[in-house]
Structure 1
């Protein structure tokens, strides 16, 4: 009889256990597929721009220019899935130039600004073609050669005149984003 009561107690316990359902849970799975990068074509890129030497007396007036040099940044071996590349330029703005219209000279010459622009278009004063801190320049990949070439020009410019003798130097970082 004791075994019967124990069995009945266990069966009653099983039926008296309530089952509760909780709220459903959502699992979020995310990821990102990005375009593969191109390779810097060092044979067709010039990353050291020498603007030459000029007497300070020729840079006495506002608007005077110390050299203008055209140069390229070339990318090669762009994978088939990469259709365009954006070059993002960053550096220190020169506060003496028109806002954002030049990079600060880190050399010892004073009253001089370093400017960049698209070498194939526009005037140095055209904000659409000048390159400043924060500028992004998007170009399509040439699908027949799997390359992208940025044709640029650099110059040293004095917005105020009265340039003192010394060196002209700026470091401008170019970061590439691939689409």
Structure 2
């Protein structure tokens, strides 16, 4: 008898449950197709730049520098669909390098900043060619060779003078975006 009552209770419960339709659900499918990356050409890129050695007496006056070194960053094997590459340079800004066009020296020498610029154009004081943290430089891919080349110059510069002896060092990260 208990089994009959239990079965009747379950059947009654099933008939008493009302059936409601829920609101429709939207499924969003997204994605992105991007240009394929190029390869860093290590044979034609200089990633360690040695600015050399200078006496503190040569860096006593504001506006003097440790010397300029030219170097390249090269990409190769760019796929056919990649037509443009943008390099974004990031590092720690040096607030003493007015108007902010310099990377902070992580070495032990004081009153000195590291600067980068387009080696083929402009002066060190031209903000159109000097690179600061967050700065970008877009270049077209050479479709004949499937390469891209950035000609750069680096220097250690003292905006204030009175450089104290020590090391000069900065790490600048370059990210590439492909179009």
TM-score, scaled to structure 1: 0.86
Residue aligning to 2:136: 136
Structure whose alpha-carbon radius of gyration is higher: 1
Q: Report SS of the residue matched to 1:149.
A: strand
Residue aligning to 1:45: 45
Shift of 1:53: 0.7
- Cα deviation code 1:71-112 (max 9, x no counterpart): 000000000011110100000011211142100001111100
> What is the CA–CA distance in structure 1 between the aligned matches of 2:129 and 2:71, rounded to whole Å?
15
- Cα deviation code 1:10-47 (max 9, x no counterpart): xxxxxxxxx98766544322111011100000000000
> What is the CA–CA distance in structure 2 between the aligned matches of 1:21 and 1:165, rounded to whole Å?
78
Residue aligning to 1:147: 147
Residue aligning to 1:97: 97
Matches within 5 A, 1:1-179: 24-179=24-179
Name the Cα RMSD after superposition: 1.5
> What is the CA–CA distance in structure 1 between the aligned matches of 2:169 and 2:77, rounded to whole Å?
31
> What is the CA–CA distance in structure 2 between the aligned matches of 1:38 and 1:93, rounded to whole Å?
28
- Cα deviation code 1:90-143 (max 9, x no counterpart): 000112111421000011111000000000100100011000000011101000
TM-score, scaled to structure 2: 0.86
The alignment of Structure 1 onto Structure 2 pairs a total of residues equal to: 162
